[in-house]
Amino acid sequence: MTLTSSYSAVSAPRIAHHRTFAMTPPTHFTVTYAINPWMDPTVPVDTARALAQWEQLCRVYRDLGHTVRLVDPQPGLPDMVYAANGGLVVNGRAIAARFTFPERAVEAGHYADWFTAAGLGEVYRTAGTQEGEGDFLVVGERILAGTGFRTDPATHAEVAAITGLPVITLELCDPRFYHLDTALGVLDQNTITYYPPAFSEPSRRLLAQLYPDAIIATAADAEVLGLNLVSDGRNVVMTDAAPGLAARLREAGFETIGVDLSELLAGGGGIKCCTLELRPSDPDRPVPHRTE
């Protein structure tokens, strides 16, 4: 009998790790401006539906045993629900975002204040524009960093200096996939899934070289933000609208949990966008926090 690569992938043990997330309820979610191709201010948004879907996402995380900490939503900041863009927290160090568009600029201060109140200590800032976990994805001991639409590539070196982790620059080239987390999902310390056409040719080559076993997404998967997912190493929380990608993830030994977050798509975000991971300095000790 020949062992195929998919057979060995199935047999790989998938281990769940506890995660701590910060999330901001979409209490003030609406679409009044357009800063990405998904947003159309002429299409009405059902805020109550967005809230109900978001609450379901919180429940899924908590049922999996993860910790969810809530950030206070602020009136007049409809995109604050996309907490992943508020910063990057690695090794217990919080880096506040510096937003590209004036519509979101004020969010940075709210997230920075929240990091301080949560006991994360000194909040780091970058000279250049960067949108937190929207463009910085931690994969094991390295950070993959997007650029092309939002994040200034000069911040990649700044983030490497603050976190002490190598940062790999990836160039995005399709405006629908304007943040790295819309084009690439992190499944565990060594495994990613991504949509190659969202990247420039050199970045595609680099990804193929770094992650030869990556799970490749199709246009259909990417167009429903199927890659905008959150994994604990075993359980992958993702949109319920990407059955093809979900099936491939299950073949590779992951469990998939489909969530309907369709109302939040009107702002151009999905599951990962609503979820900021707080990574402690010592994985055996929880992230400190003084407020809830």
Q: Which is nearer to ligand ARG, 35 or 162 (CB)?
A: 35
- Which of 179, 187, 215, 256 forms a contact with ligand ARG (CB under 6 A)? 179
Min. distance of Cβ 226 from ligand ARG in angstroms? 13
* 265 binds ligand ARG, rule: CB under 6 A: no
* 111 binds ligand ARG, rule: CB under 6 A: no
* 241 binds ligand ARG, rule: CB under 6 A: no
- Which of 23, 25, 29, 35 forms a contact with ligand ARG (CB under 6 A)? 35
* 85 binds ligand ARG, rule: CB under 6 A: yes
* 186 binds ligand ARG, rule: CB under 6 A: no
* 107 binds ligand ARG, rule: CB under 6 A: no
Q: Which is nearer to ligand ARG, 73 or 267 (CB)?
A: 267
Radius of gyration of the chain (CA): 18
- Which of 19, 151, 268, 287 forms a contact with ligand ARG (CB under 6 A)? 268
* 187 binds ligand ARG, rule: CB under 6 A: no
Min. distance of Cβ 2 from ligand ARG in angstroms? 41
Neighbour tally for 219: CB within 10 Å: 9
Give the dihedral of Cα atoms 124, 127, 131, 137; nearest 10 deg.
-70
Is residue 289 among the annotated active site residues? no
Largest CA distance in the chain: 62
- Which of 87, 146, 233, 267 forms a contact with ligand ARG (CB under 6 A)? 267
Min. distance of Cβ 121 from ligand ARG in angstroms? 24
Min. distance of Cβ 13 from ligand ARG in angstroms? 30
* 146 binds ligand ARG, rule: CB under 6 A: no
User: Which range, of 69-77, 176-184, 209-217, 231-239, touches ligand ARG by CB under 6 A?
Assistant: 176-184
Active site residues: 179, 273
User: Which residue ranges make up the site for ligand ARG (CB under 6 A)?
Assistant: 35-36, 39, 79, 82, 84-85, 104, 134, 179, 181-182, 267-269, 273
